[in-house]
Amino acid sequence: MTFLRILFVSTILTRCPCCGKGRLFRGWFAFLPACPRCGLVYEQWVGDWTTPTWIAHSIGFLGALAIFIWMFVTGTGMNGPIPPEFSVALIAGLLSLLALRPSKALWLGFMYWAGGVEVSARTRARLHWSAAADPRPDSRRMIHEAESRARRPAPRASPVYIRGGGLYPFVRDLLFPRPRRR
């Protein structure tokens, strides 16, 4: 899938970015542990959901700021029975809550596209099995993409590693280590 298609499938349709069929959420906020169709594990790293929370709160803050500026410029709601600070805070909280689900789905789609969500061997096997049961061109494409996104074990820094891959992979792994697993 292309970048925009992955984001569309995960954010708007709230479906798994790997297979495009499985649900992401159980209820409004809670993620399912894994995709019911392909088995892709959604929450793999500690601290995954800091950025979506920040995005949702930023949307709430910007919406509240826009409402407050509108109230100040037009003078509406400034002398009402409800204090303007209360109404602006209520709007900020509601906007943040409404933006949390799409921002989590957007972040999962982005992390899948960037390679931050590991496609395990089990997920690839389930995709192969479902493609054998339903041989469509779409299934073959999903298998190819899952295989290309599968993480291989990171090589350790050794003289062979430095000679084999050059200095760039060594420096990259030294400066940007893989995050801890849950």
Percent of the chain beyond pLDDT 70?
65
In a domain, 107, yes or no: yes
Task: Examine residue 34 and state whether it is found in any structural domain, yes or no.
Answer: yes
Q: For residue 165, is it within any domain?
A: no
Query: What per-residue confidence (pLDDT) applies to 94?
Result: 93
Does the residue 175 lie in any domain?
no
Type of residue numbered 136: R
Q: Return the SS3 of 161.
A: helix
With vertex at residue 123, the alpha carbon angle to CA 133 and CA 99, rounded to the nearest 5 degrees, is 110
Reported as a single tens digit per residue, the pLDDT across 41-72 is 887 776 777 888 899 999 999 999 998 898 88
Distances (CA, A) of 104 to 2, 48, 123, 167: 19, 9, 21, 36
Structural domain contains residue 36? yes
- What is the average pLDDT across 13-28? 86
Using CA atoms, how far residue 62 sits from 16, 90, 105, in Å, is 29, 13, 20
pLDDT at position 161 is: 46
pLDDT tens digits, 144-181: 666 665 554 444 444 444 444 566 666 666 666 665 55
**Residue of 115 and 8 predicted with greater confidence:** 8
Give CA torsion, residues 18, 21, 25, 26, to 10 deg: -130
pLDDT-derived band at 132 (thresholds 50, 70, 90) equals low
The answer as to whether 51 is a domain residue is yes
Task: Please tell me the predicted confidence (pLDDT) of residue 116.
Answer: 73
CA–CA distance, 70 with 6 (Å, rounded to integer): 36
Q: How many independent structural domains does the chain possess? A: 1
DSSP state of 178: P
Q: What is the pTM of this model?
A: 0.66
Confidence of residue 136 (pLDDT cuts 50, 70, 90): low
Residue 70: give the domain boundaries.
3-149
Contact present, 57 and 49 (Cβ < 8 Å):
no
Longest dimension (CA), the chain: 74
Residue 66 pLDDT: 92
The pLDDT confidence band at residue 4, using thresholds 50, 70 and 90, is confident
pLDDT for 59 equals 93
How far apart are the C-alpha atoms of 84 and 97, rounded to whole Å? Answer: 20
Of the candidates 52, 58, 34, the residue with the CA atom closest to the CA atom of residue 101: 52
Q: Provide mean pLDDT across the span 134-144.
A: 65
Q: Does residue 159 form part of some domain? A: no
Residue 94, domain member (yes or no): yes
Q: What is the pLDDT of residues 77-130, one digit of tens each?
A: 777 788 888 888 998 999 999 999 999 899 888 888 877 777 776 676 766 666
**Residues 122, 130: contact at Cβ < 8 Å?**
no
Q: How far is CA 41 from CA 1, 123, 125, 130, in A?
A: 18, 8, 14, 17
